[in-house]
Each structure stands twice: as structure tokens, then as C-alpha cells.
Chains A and B, each alone.
Chain A
Amino acid sequence: MIIRIMGEGQLKLEDAAVDELNKLDADLEKAVESSDQAAFGSALRALLVRAREVGVELPPDAIEPSDLILPREDATIEEVRELMTDDGLIPG
């Protein structure tokens, strides 16, 4: 499975590792929904730290769509909300 950490690049990881990331992702989603800034920051960091640990960097010349996309480390709740709707992306 291929994941992207925004601003950092893509990682390849075993499917088995995804379950764990999904659990961390659920925490993140909860924090976004409840607008809990503190929980959001720590959930995002935990998710990214784990993803970097289990993932292997894809070569820079690989051109592959990602199965999952993770926000950048210093993203705000608002930015993540925008990324989950159409508003967050630059048109074109």
C-alpha cells in the first residue's frame, strides 16, 4: 500500500501496518470532528511518526497514486477539514 505524507513524499508499507495506522487515524478523525486542538495535534503527530516508522520511502521518480494521504505535520484542524472537502485543493 502506498501512502503520502503531504509535503514529505510517498511511502510504501505492508498492508498489515495499515490497521495500526487506521486506529491512529480514527483518533485524528475524532479530534477533527470535536475541534479538539490539543488532541488533534498529538493524534496527527502520532500518526505521522508511526507512518514514517513502518513506511519505506518511494523513489522520487515513482509516479503512483496513493491509497491514503496524510496531512502535513503542522497542519491545522481547519486545513485538514478543507482537505477532506473539495475546497482544499487548488483547482486545475
Chain B
Amino acid sequence: MGVMKRVSTIFRAKANKTLDRMEDPRETLDYSYQTQLELLQKVRRGVADVATSRKRLELQMNQLQQTGDKLDRQARDSLAAGREDLAREALSRKAGVQGQLTDLQAQYASLQGEEEKLTAASQRLQAKVDAFRVRKETIKATYTAAEATTRINETFTGISEEMSDVGLAIQRAEDKTEQMKARAGAIDELMASGALTDALGGPPPDDIQAELDRMGASGGVDAELERMKAELAGGSAPKEIAGSGQTDTPVGQPSGTSFQKEQPGSGGA
């Protein structure tokens, strides 16, 4: 027996177990309808939860993007001021931010797919629950208990299969949402610690460096540094600095000037 048949056998066995518990088959219909309504509530909550998670990811992605842009500006300004060490630090943090961003983008796409599937499942279930309500009244009104049994069995098995499928889909969406929440929380912490944002507060503590290393931040920094140097040497530097709105600041004094103004309180952390 193949996979397809075995899976359907399990679904049927589960429906039959519930049917066997009922004394009057018609009771089954009302009982099942209640369960359906509950499941419908649950799947709607599931859709809302996934949407919330997705929106939170969206916010974080924007935040990371802004942080990345800021670190890029800081690297340029540092380089223009002759502080290659600071530029290197800023770029290495930018690489970390970029890594997180790429990661979040993939998560976002997957969450979006999950949301679409769950929305479609919720609509299918709604249509079936409506149809079931009508059918259950017809069966109860028209058939004797004996006649009803066959009709009920088939209807119940059909709806039960749908409910199992939707139930598994919700469970899966819940798992994904939980993972996403944990991840979003971790990134919030990382941002709050300044590991991703605060490039110019002196040498980073070891744990921050370790975090950066873990994110593979070191690769590519040298290349980008060289590229920036070339750009600056090519004469685009003054324009870049003007564009960043920090031309009035003496960029030659890195520990306590323009960069740290953007995030008061985080410099000494």
C-alpha cells in the first residue's frame, strides 16, 4: 500500500473513532459543528498571528536597513577623516547587519507563503462549515436514524478530514510564528546591545566581537574598505559627506562627536 493510501486510511480511522463514540449518529452532527466553529476561530487567529509576525519582521527589516545605511555613512566619514580603524569597525558591523537582513528576507518570504496558505485554508473551511450546517439540518429533518447513519458517516468523515488537514496547517503556522518571534526577539536584543549599531564606541567587548564573527562579518570588509578608499580618492568623497549631513562636525575626533550624537547613552555601554 502506497503513501497516499496509508495516509488516507489514518485520516479515516481517526474519523471512525469519533463516530463510534456517539450513541445517536445525529448527535455527531451537532458535536462536529461545534468543533468546526472552534477550529474556524482558531484558524482565523492563526492567520492574524502570522500577519503580526510578518509585520514585526517588516519593521525590523526597515530598522536594519537604516542601520546598515548609517554604518555605511559612518565608514565613509571615518575614512575621509583618516580613521581607517573606525571605518573597518563600521563596515564589519554593516556586514553583520547585512547578514541579518538577508536572513530576515528569506524568513519573510516563507512567512508570507504560510499566511497565504492559511488564509486560503480558512476560506475553504468556512465554505465547508456553511455547507455542513445546511446539510446537517437536512439530514436531521429528513432521515430516520438508520438512514441517517450512512449519510452522516460520509459527511462526518469528509469534514473530519478537512479539519485534520487545517489543524495540522495551523499547528505548523504556530510553530513557524514561534520560531520567528524568538528570532525577532534575539535581533531586538542585538540591536539594543549596540552590537549592530554602535560602531564608534571604542573597541567592542569580546562578546560583541564574537557575535560579529559568528555572523561571518569579517569577510568582504577589506574589499569594501578598498572600494570606499578608491571612491574617496576619486573625488566623490566630499559629495558623500555633504549628503550625509555631517559636514559641520569635526570628523577627526571620533570618540565623542557626530556619530554618537545619533544614539545618546549607548556610547559608554
Hey, which bits of chain A sit against chain B, CB under 8 A? 3-4, 6-9, 21-22, 25-26, 28-29, 32, 47, 59-71, 80, 83-86, 88-92
Among A7, A21, A85, the residue within 8 A (CB) of B165 is: A7
- B2–A92 CB distance below 8 A: no
Q: Does B8 contact A (CB under 8 A)?
A: yes
Closest to B12 in A: A65
Q: Which residues of A contact B18 (CB under 8 A)?
A: 92
CA distance A85 to B123 in the complex (A): 28
| Distance in angstroms between the alpha carbons of A22 and B11 in the assembled complex | 19
Is there contact, CB below 8 Å, between B121 and A64?
A: no
Q: Which of A29, A69, A88 contacts B8 (CB 8 A)?
A: A69
Q: Which of B14-59 contact A (CB under 8 A)?
A: 14-15, 18, 35
Contact A63 B14 (CB under 8 A): no
Q: How many residues of B contact A (CB 8 A)?
A: 39
The answer on a CB contact under 8 Å between B7 and A65 is: no
A9 touches B128 (CB 8 A): no
- B161-175 interface code vs A (CB 8 A; 1 in, 0 out): 110110111010000
Contacts of A21 in B (CB 8 A): 4
B155 at the A interface (CB under 8 A)? yes
Return chain A residues, CB-CB under 8 Å to B14.
86, 89, 91
Closest Cβ–Cβ distance, residue A79 to chain B (whole Å): 9
A22 touches B127 (CB 8 A): no
Partner of A83, one of B2, B10, B131, B169: B10
